[in-house]
Chain A
Amino acid sequence: NAGVTQTPKFRVLKTGQSMTLLCAQDMNHEYMYWYRQDPGMGLRLIHYSVGEGTTAKGEVPDGYNVSRLKKQNFLLGLESAAPSQTSVYFCATGQQLAKNIQYFGAGTRLSVL
């Protein structure tokens, strides 16, 4: 049982390049979240989804887009990467009836040069 799987684990981009981070879950959870983790800032919510075909903005959505075309996948896109987007990105999932508990992936470390 894989749980929450994030790909890739590491990536280095040049300013202006684009990329997509994939979060895949096999727990049949309705809720999915994308966070970024920066030193001294804790985790900040970028976007989230409460079900297939839905997305909503979190605390820091600028410069990111997301899609939830399938229940098990939540994609985070950077259309034109900037050095300020250098961070560790975490995906998390949760159940609608128990949305108080989140399950996290291992993270993606992204550097934008």
Chain B
Amino acid sequence: GDSVTQMEGPVTLSEEAFLTINCTYTATGYPSLFWYVQYPGEGLQLLLKATKADDKGSNKGFEATYRKETTSFHLEKGSVQVSDSAVYFCALGPTSTGNQFYFGTGTSLTVIP
């Protein structure tokens, strides 16, 4: 079945460091791919998305490219800030015939000054 495998955490980086969080997926059909972010004590918020192969989603300096050949959707940011400290979830969206999302296990990021 459909699934998402996400890089284990936690990840601790210094401010202005480069961030990569790996995400790979298994899917039937051609689902959209997402990164959601969860700040402490809050629900998940959509960070970025890509709806088809080779699409690049971007928001707030974060980027991820939908790679069909490697079934990956890695999250990157060139220079992290303390305010980026949160838990990041990779997610697989529903296909044209389904209604269910599949979430990765989440990666906790802490950015230290």
Chain A positions near chain B (C-beta within 8 angstroms): 4, 31, 33, 35, 40-45, 48, 50, 56, 58-59, 90, 92, 99-102, 104-107
Contact = CB atoms under 8 A, between A and B. Distances in A.
Interface string B1-33: 000101000000000000000000000000010
Interface of B: 4, 6, 32, 34, 36, 41-46, 49, 51, 89, 93-94, 99-101, 103-106
Contact of A43 (B32, B94, B103): B103
A105 B43 contact: yes
B93 A104 contact: no
Given A48-B99, A48-B100, A100-B51, A106 B94 contact: no
B44 A104 contact: yes
Contacts of B51: 100
B100 A104 contact: no
Nearest to A101: B46
Question: Which of A40, A43, A48 neighbours the largest number of chain B CB atoms within 10 Å of its CB?
Answer: A43
